[in-house]
Amino acid sequence: MMHYLTEKLWFPNPKEATADGLLAIGGDLSVQRLLLAYNSGIFPWYEDDQPILWWSPDPRMVLFPEKFRVSKSLRKTLKSEKFKITFNQNFEKVIKNCSTVPRKGQAGTWITREMQEAYTALHKAGHAVSIEVWEDSKLVGGLYGIDLPQNKVFCGESMFSLVSDASKVAFYHLLEYVRAKNYKFIDCQIYNEHLESLGAEEIGRDDFLNIFKI
């Protein structure tokens, strides 16, 4: 059964999603609804010509901090200290770059203008985090996501890179961040070959929700 959301602030049980993970359609991208979604193990993902679509996929891609893989080339880059790392210094530029920087095998973007505005509002409310990677005072990489300290989970949304290894360096510092806070995992949402190479894996939705403590 597909659920259609109205102005009422609620979500169905994530386990009621369809076989492809689609849970509900409609609603809005208010700070309150986004927080309810992420704290319920649900996230929005849709394109400009679609209504807002809410997902709870099975399986779910996650990365447990202790399984993060640091390649020799990344270690070399980190030791070189060629990049400067900041947190929350330019969220809007990070999310803009995530929406516009071309990706291999991807024609467009799901980070619509509406999504950018919604997540910027979430950032201003203290719930969305950005990590910036700078080289010679130029923003060359970064990522953003939703921080859920009450669940001890970070929900990664997107990252970009303009030079080699910049996004990997951002991800490394995200791992340092979640380790320092003793978080359980980074929610990577759906399968991604690049994230798998860094140590991410797929787990069943029930396992995800049990660890997430929904």
| pLDDT band at residue 214 under the 50/70/90 scheme | low
| pLDDT band at residue 108 under the 50/70/90 scheme | very low
- Determine the pLDDT at residue 213: 82
DSSP state of 130: E
| pLDDT band at residue 48 under the 50/70/90 scheme | confident
Taking the domains of the chain in order of start, what are their residue ranges? 3-57, 61-212
Rounded mean pLDDT of 160-165? 95
Architecture of domain 3-57 in CATH? 2-Layer Sandwich (3.30)
What is the Cα–Cα distance from 116 to 104, expressed in whole angstroms? 22
% of the chain residues with pLDDT over 90: 90
pLDDT digit string, tens, across residues 3-25: 999 999 999 999 999 999 999 99
In the CATH scheme, what is the code of domain 61-212? 3.40.630.70
pTM: 0.94
